[in-house]
Amino acid sequence: MPVRGVRIINALLGSVLILIAARSAEQPSIREREVARARELMASSVLTERAWGVYFAGRLHSEELNKLLIDDFRWAADYREAVLDSEGYAFVSVLLDSAIEQRLMVSSDLLLPFFANWPAPSLMLLSWSDKNEDLLLSLRAQSTLDGFWLAVNNGLFQQKSPRWYTATLNEIHLSHEIVVADFDQ
């Protein structure tokens, strides 16, 4: 092939690559489209669609959706006493799961309405913020269930709460017992 023909082919290939690059730059990425879809679903008034949006928000790990997740805690408070197998119950479960998936810092005033029916995920979310130390210490003092008490203590340990260390050390009572035995008899 003559040199001129090669130059024309190279110029055409270069033009095609430039057009492809320009066109792909105009189109949003797959991730951007997924975030937009999650945002759209989270704005829905249909509870199942909104739950799917919350689910996607948790799986996408997109910080731009965190504010919407926080807002949904306010919105979901109406469903805090929803019965098992209802859409409201499913929505709250997905919301808590997505917040955990995101390691979202949710304030205690938003979590307390869910504490009675969803204690484990609520407690997990509470324990991630040092701002909830007072609440966790009061829950520790009130708890009568061993597993719950242990979970609260684990949360305070994770926070390295100085007041928790002090309270724990004050609860330890050391005693000595000496047993003398004569085995020769």
pLDDT tens digits along 129-159:
778 777 878 777 777 777 777 787 778 888 7
**Helix segments in the chain, DSSP class H:** 3-26, 30-42, 47-60, 66-76, 87-102, 108-111, 119-127, 133-142, 146-159, 162-171
C-alpha 38/C-alpha 49 separation (Å) is: 9
pLDDT class of 13 with cuts at 50, 70, 90: low
pLDDT tens digits along 85-96:
888 899 999 999
pLDDT at 163: 83
C-alpha 140/C-alpha 131 separation (Å) is: 16
pLDDT at 51: 92
C-alpha 80/C-alpha 92 separation (Å) is: 7
